[in-house]
Amino acid sequence: MSHGLFDAAVNEVLRALRGIDPEQLQNAVAMIRRAPRVYLAGCGRSGYMMRAFTMRLMHMGLSACFVGDTCTPAARAGDLLVVGSGSGETGSLKYCAASAKALGMELLALTGKPGSTLGRMADALVVIPSGTPGKRPDGSLVLPSDARPEENSVLVMGSVAEISLLICTDALVSLLMEELGVSPDEMARRHANLE
């Protein structure tokens, strides 16, 4: 097998990450820093990336939890909901975001579609321009190849968006570590030890 496939995949992810506005990242860091508690949500593969982000925030000593887990406490006004959704149209996440807004929470959306429902609801955005599949009104997917042929990916479906989301959130962790003065050793001390 040729490494050309790997090179093409890495280049797609790099192109998406280079399209992220650094000012949006700094704004996201500021929102996370000032929130008493951070709630995170995502579905499918994006959900796994958001769970990884939740873990790193916990390792930094922040009060962070993933929406829907049995140990997730009640949210309050002033808390922050961070939603990761490539399409910005996932039904359960729109419901969650509406509930958060009704409680007086701030909403930060990490999405490839700033004009989506979640994008419009958000107080702030981190736009990850990765050719994410969109959704039609009937709920069916609009793949990037349907919309713009130049966005055809060597990876299946929304993989570039999901991989980019993981790297983007890890970059946010690095920025937060620097601003909060948290060391890798301090984070390692909070790592699970009952495994």
Q: What residues are labeled active site?
A: 162
Gap between the Cα atoms of 40 and 64, Å rounded: 7
- CA 49, distance to chain mean position in Å, is 7
Interhelix angle 4-18/159-180, rounded to 10 degrees, is 50
Q: Helix, strand or coil for residue 80?
A: strand
The CA–CA distances, whole Å, from 132 to 13, 81, 88, 143, 161 equal: 12, 22, 10, 7, 6
Copy the structure tokens of residue 68: 């829907």
Non-local (6+) Cβ contacts of 98 within 8 A are 121
